[in-house]
């Protein structure tokens, strides 16, 4: 009997190894936990098209929107761990939402990192008439008037909200958060002067900066970005060493997916991210390529969790 069991186990192991060797031998799907047109959707589509060419199989986009990206993320977390279901993962449903509300999935237990793909930085913006010539004057003015000024965000717990809270913590300013349902109404009230400032994406703010409706005091990343030529990091302009923040978009799969499959998918992502036309398409979406292999991406995710846990705790941020 033991020989039969051992033989069966050997056959199963051989079958599994064979399945990994010829992966993929059928179409894959990429779950996008957002509606069409969102950044994670646009990035996912660009990435899926190029990865399909490398893998020799079509990758079908499957939009599963809802609950701030948590519904689609849960679908991916509960998929078969064979690498045929990919997740267009992003900051909100992976790094932030599970810290603010109960999630049906556990990121570390249920999902495995494949590769980070890109970063979406934010610009610190206010109206041209705001009485501060530069970022240091801006911080000094906020400090001198605790409780007087307000800042807008696309919603409580949104990445933009927590990036602003990170800035406020480092700058040591006391300001009031005004949440909106999206970046458009948030920026509308900044432009009108009803709210003092906001951190919003380059894609959302740059048209207003170019038109003169907004001015910027810097970009949220710790280095200059090709997305915003000539705009220096807030860490430099406001003298806030350590301020380095951006939303991220990457690829994950169901935990338990064989390492050989994960590595093959990561290699396909890397090939896509080195393609000049992919880089150009992603820049047009308002994101910057930032490829990280599985192990590096895993470390990055842990760093993000630690950072956002601290920001949420310091700001006593809660979703009602």
222 and 148 in a common domain: yes
Yes or no: say if 143 and 180 are a contact pair by the CB < 8 Å rule: no
Does some domain include residue 7? Answer: no
256 and 113 in a common domain: yes
291 and 188 in a common domain: no
Does some domain include residue 290? Answer: yes
Q: What pLDDT sits at residue 12?
A: 44
pLDDT per position as a tens digit, 173-191: 999 999 999 999 999 999 9
Domain boundary among 245, 275, 306: 245
Containing structural domain, residue 102:
27-118+247-314
Say which CATH number the domain at 68 has: 3.40.190.150
Yes or no: say if 317 and 146 are a contact pair by the CB < 8 Å rule: no
Write out the E strands in 44-110. Answer: 59-63, 85-90
Domains: count for the chain: 2
240 and 251 in a common domain: no
pLDDT per position as a tens digit, 141-164: 999 999 999 999 999 999 999 999
277 and 221 in a common domain: no
Q: Categorize the per-residue pLDDT at 20 as very low, low, confident or very high, splitting at 50, 70 and 90.
A: low
In this predicted structure, the answer to whether residue 16 has a pLDDT above a threshold of 60 is no
Does some domain include residue 291? Answer: yes
Q: What pLDDT sits at residue 319?
A: 83
Q: Across residues 234-247, what is the average pLDDT? A: 96
176 and 95 in a common domain: no
In this predicted structure, the answer to whether residue 17 has a pLDDT above a threshold of 70 is no
pLDDT per position as a tens digit, 81-108: 999 999 999 999 999 999 999 999 999 9
188 and 278 in a common domain: no
231 and 299 in a common domain: no
Which of 10-14, 85-89, 93-97, 277-281 comes out lowest in average pLDDT? 10-14
101 and 164 in a common domain: no
Domain boundary among 245, 268, 302: 245
Q: Are strands 150-153 and 176-179 parallel, antiparallel or unpaired?
A: parallel
Yes or no: say if 75 and 63 are a contact pair by the CB < 8 Å rule: no
Minimal CA–CA distance to 68: which of 143, 193, 190, 155? 155
Yes or no: say if 287 and 43 are a contact pair by the CB < 8 Å rule: yes
pLDDT per position as a tens digit, 32-44: 999 999 999 999 9
265 and 191 in a common domain: no
What region does 228 belong to: left with phi over 0, alpha with psi -120 to 50, or beta?
Answer: beta
Question: Residue 278: what are its φ and ψ, rounded to 5°?
Answer: -70, -45
Domain boundary among 245, 267, 286: 245
Does some domain include residue 310? Answer: yes
Does some domain include residue 3? Answer: no
Does some domain include residue 264? Answer: yes
């Amino acid at each position: 009997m033991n020989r039969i069991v051992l033989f069966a186990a050997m056959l199963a192991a051989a079958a599994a190894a064979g399945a990994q060797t010829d992966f993929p031998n059928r179409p894959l799907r990429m779950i996008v936990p957002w509606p069409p047109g969102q950044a994670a959707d646009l990035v996912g589509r660009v990435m899926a098209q190029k990865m399909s060419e490398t893998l020799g199989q079509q990758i079908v986009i499957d939009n599963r929107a809802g609950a701030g990206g948590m519904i689609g993320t849960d679908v991916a977390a509960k998929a078969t761990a064979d690498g045929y279901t990919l997740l267009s993962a992003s900051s909100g449903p992976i790094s932030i939402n599970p810290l603010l509300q109960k999630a049906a999935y556990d990121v570390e237990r249920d999902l495995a990192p494949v590769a980070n793909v890109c970063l979406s930085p934010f610009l610190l913006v206010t109206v041209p008439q705001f009485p501060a010539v530069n970022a240091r004057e801006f911080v000094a003015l906020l400090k001198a008037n605790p409780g007087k000024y307000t800042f807008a965000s696309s919603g409580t717990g949104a990445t933009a909200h927590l990036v602003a809270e990170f800035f406020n913590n480092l700058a040591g300013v006391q300001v009031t958060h005004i949440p909106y349902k999206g970046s458009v109404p948030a920026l509308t009230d900044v432009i009108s002067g009803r709210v003092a400032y906001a951190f919003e994406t380059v894609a959302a703010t740059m048209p207003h900066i170019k038109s003169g409706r907004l001015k910027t005091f810097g970009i949220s990343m710790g280095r200059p970005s090709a997305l915003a030529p000539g705009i220096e990091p807030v860490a430099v302009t406001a003298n806030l060493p350590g301020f380095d923040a951006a939303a991220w978009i990457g690829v994950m799969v169901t935990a338990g997916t064989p390492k050989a499959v994960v590595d093959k998918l990561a290699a396909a992502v890397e090939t896509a991210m080195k393609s000049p036309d992919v880089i150009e398409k992603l820049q047009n979406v308002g994101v910057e390529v930032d490829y990280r292999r599985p192990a590096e991406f895993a470390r990055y995710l842990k760093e993000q969790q630690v950072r956002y846990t601290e920001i949420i705790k310091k700001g006593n941020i809660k979703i009602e």
